Structure 1
Amino acid sequence: MANTDMFQIRTEEAPRLPAPISTTGVIGWMRQNLFSSIGNTVLTVIGILIAYSLIAPLIQFAFIDAVWSGDNREACLPQDGGHSGACWAYVEAYFPQFIYGRYPTEEIWRVNIVYFLFAVLLVPLAIPSAPFKKINAILFLVVFPIIAYFLLTGLVIGDAVILPIVETAVWGGLLVTLVIAVTGIVASLPLGIALALGRRSRMPIIKLVSVIFIEFWRGVPLITVLFMSSVMLPLFLPEGVTFDKLLRVLIGVTLFSAAYMAEVVRGGLQAIPKGQYEGAMALGLRFWPMMYLIILPQALKLVIPGIVNTFIGLFKDTTLVLIVGMFDLLGQIQSSFTDPTWSTPSTGHTGYLFAALVFWTFCFGMSRYSIFMEKKLHTGHKR
């Protein structure tokens, strides 16, 4: 720094000073988002008090007073007048049934292979930068369902039993939940897109059929659809013709979800400016190339939240299959309450807490992935 009698001239850059602690890090974030004004401060304090009043008892029940090991109900009963916490020993004892239902123990390895293949194929399919996307999609959507079908149900060629037959009546737990949810999600999306396009079609017959289909399925509760598909449908079939109960449920859930998916997709199609259609037609594109290359990619991108919301709702609605005698995860948990070996005041609460954790994990995962895809696809107009 050069000095003179009247002023100073700096000849080198001054050292950079760190930002004030009160404006960076956790403290800065809290001051900006939680305590930026008197009103926000009051609301933050009230929110903390409400959260504490709800979370503290849950932590007390699930962890502090919980019983983690034991062989029967005696381990989970309140001791010396104390509180009765979560009986995680009961969950450990029933865990195989919660995951596999009454699937034969010696054949559980087949379910494990299906779980493994599902995860191995789904993870790279969900990663946008993963290579070999087309091959991965074909394996997941075409090859995997065939392999999973024969692994889960069995395979008999002539008189040779390759894999013993396992009736769907003994399936249960998370296996049934995932089979119904994944099948419904994968099948309802393309069917919903077709119905949405049909409802916007200029061909009267196609439009009328699409409207009737959508309005019919949207006007009937899912619990009624399941009951009709499981109990009433066989009455209308020719004598000797039967469908597996799980197959009936899958068809009913898929058709029901497709009707709601069609309306979500139709909203995206209506949000596309008319100029996009005119520009595609000006390029000489016919209807299907125009939809596949220009319109649908934009429309589906706009309605990602609605699509995922429908998927989440479908995943949670799988619990309704209990009404037709199929024991999904929640149904399997409820059926375990009748076992006197683990009958305690906290058994029911623990079972429902376990079910809530499982459903929340899957639904939260779908929600976060949808947010990730939204941010990745919204490249033209960042929010």
Structure 2
Amino acid sequence: MRRHRTEFVRAFPARIALLALLASIHCATRARAESPTIGAGDAHTCAIDGANALWCWGAKDDDRCDAPRGPHVAVAVAKGGCHACAIASDASMSCWGCDERLQASGIPTSSDTLRGWVAVACGKTFSCGIVNDGSGNVRCWGEPLPAIGTRDAWVGPFATVVAGEDYVCALGKDDGLARCRGWDSSAQASIPATLANVAFVAIAAGFAHTCGVTRTEKSLRCWGGNVAGESALPNATSAGGDGGGYATGATVVAAAWGAIGVGARWTCGVVGSARELTCWGLRRDYPPAAAAHFEEYGQVHSSGAVVSKNGACAWDVVAVGKRHACGITASSSDAGPAGSAMCWGDDSHGQSAPPGEGDGVVLPWKAWPTETEVNATGSAILALKTSAGATALCDADVVASGSAGVWRARAVERRALARRGRGFGGGRECAHK
């Protein structure tokens, strides 16, 4: 078992915050505009429950499910890799999983990290975090990236750090400006000139594209790769109209975005007064009733928000991996109570079959950091909690459209399989806390 921990001198009380946005796709990290408390990778998902216990489920190779015990405030899953990192309630950092580039065991122990960490992010073969010494500096370890090595700090102050597969982005603590470093093959690490002076409240990094929610308008902006339309936002028109991309009939305005998640050639976001979940870009392995609304390449069709039709129409956050995604619901439904974790897409290793109360999970799953945790970094991510409007229950017309039954059946089968110790579809290989 490879578990790597670093102990820190705790001379001062640590005020923790996270914004380790799950910009990860293989092992855990936060969501950036994604939540720092749930992350989806390529074959692995990690999340923090209502008791601050850390859970991981999916592929078990390389000990990627070997999550440390104890209370945690942030988790990050590696996009495209097989390691994960998490911050404990005492501000200490732990990493586990693959370690060929020291991305798990190479946590810096220099003087600026002695007080611990306030944010964490994991890329394919590297990890980064914001130190808790008041500087807001980013420190990285593992494989060095262009313009950001592993010896010197990336000088802040930063409020948020997120990692794509082979690049890293951060938001300024004071100005909210986005800054990225690393590989830039699709201009994913190059802030467009039109956004150079735009303040963001949150940012999400994927494999070859980046998205952020603006601080003032709560509008969504994306840049970088766009092979499958992943950076081309859905039209803000009513569902049912030509080119509409939202599940119910409500008109969606540009300022209505909440949490977002960025994966491999696809993007998902919470949007609108009903807090609907919509996805666009490369089609993934959706249930048949939902897949009918997607092209293999391109944006979501009208009424095509993938999980707004499963009896859980209101959502808090979403974490997007390589071929699967998971979200935390904001309203109760036939699929489960508010605060439930629901996943869709590839489930070959059980990464889309989250554990439940029968496994010992304490609901609700933690979707947002606390105000104290946020204040430690100066992050404004809690603004996303309300920016998409008030929580709404399912629209009767949406439920009647056909997908609800599919998702309810999946939810029931998952719970039954979980009680028998197996995952849905390919079988959950591990579900450890």
Same structural fold, with TM-score higher than 0.5 when normalized by the shorter chain: no
Higher Cα Rg: structure 1 or 2?
1
Larger proportion of helix: 1
Q: Which of the five TM-score ranges fits, normalised by the shorter chain?
A: under 0.3
TM-score by length of 1: 0.25
